[in-house]
Amino acid sequence: MRRRRCWLVAVLAACSPGRSGAEVITVERVVDGDTIDVRVGERVERVRLTGIDTPELAHEPQDVAECFAGEATAFTASLLSVGTVVRLERDVVGRDDYGRLLAYVYRVDDEVFVNWEIVRHGFALPLSIPPNEAMAEAIVHAARAAQADGAGLWTACRD
């Protein structure tokens, strides 16, 4: 089966070959290590970074943050400060059960693959959920390198 990946353009659900004039997508907020809000025109969309899983923050008063959650969120924020222009690459399934966009995120100015960077520096683990597996192998390699280096959560969160 051949997969077709689409660039996120002005209309989030559309994928039109040869379309030009895509709207600028900017980071509005880092929610946690693997979730951001982006502004597309007048709309704000929540984006879940595909292929990775960072430790969970304590979003409710009764919750307890997982090991390295704050550090993962801070690292993502260092890569994606408010106003950063990004490109979102979608895989097969475009949204999760919570309505969030699922995307591989790239900074436009230097083409840094943000999902990979977060894993490579030890702030996330690979999370492959079929059929969204286009970058799974690269992300697993990044995690193996981070583990070998003892980076981030690989050292900080040992039992």
Q: What is the pLDDT of residues 94-108, one digit of tens each?
A: 999 999 999 999 999
Give the domain range for residue 96: 25-152
* Residue 79 domain-assigned (yes or no): yes
Choose between 119 and 24: higher pLDDT: 119
Whether the predicted pLDDT of 153 surpasses 60: yes
Among candidate residues 48, 71, 90, 120, the one labeled active-site is 48
Query: Using one digit for the tens of pLDDT, what is the confidence trace for 16-61?
Result: 333 345 678 999 999 999 999 999 999 999 999 999 999 988 777 7
Among candidate residues 29, 39, 56, 133, the one labeled active-site is 56
Please compute the mean of the pLDDT values over residues 7-24 and round it to a whole number. Answer: 43
100 is catalytic: yes
- Cis previous bond, 131, omega within 30: yes
Place of tokens 């809000």: 37
89 is catalytic: no
* Residue 19 domain-assigned (yes or no): no
Q: What is the pLDDT of residue 3?
A: 42
* Residue 76 domain-assigned (yes or no): yes
0.95 exceeded by the pTM?
Answer: no
Q: pLDDT exceeding 90 applies to what percent of the chain?
A: 74
* Residue 1 domain-assigned (yes or no): no
* Residue 84 domain-assigned (yes or no): yes
Q: What is d(CA 68, CA 151) in angstroms, rounded to the nearest whole number?
A: 12
* Residue 158 domain-assigned (yes or no): no
39 is catalytic: no
Write phi, then psi, for 86 (nearest 5 degrees): -125, 160
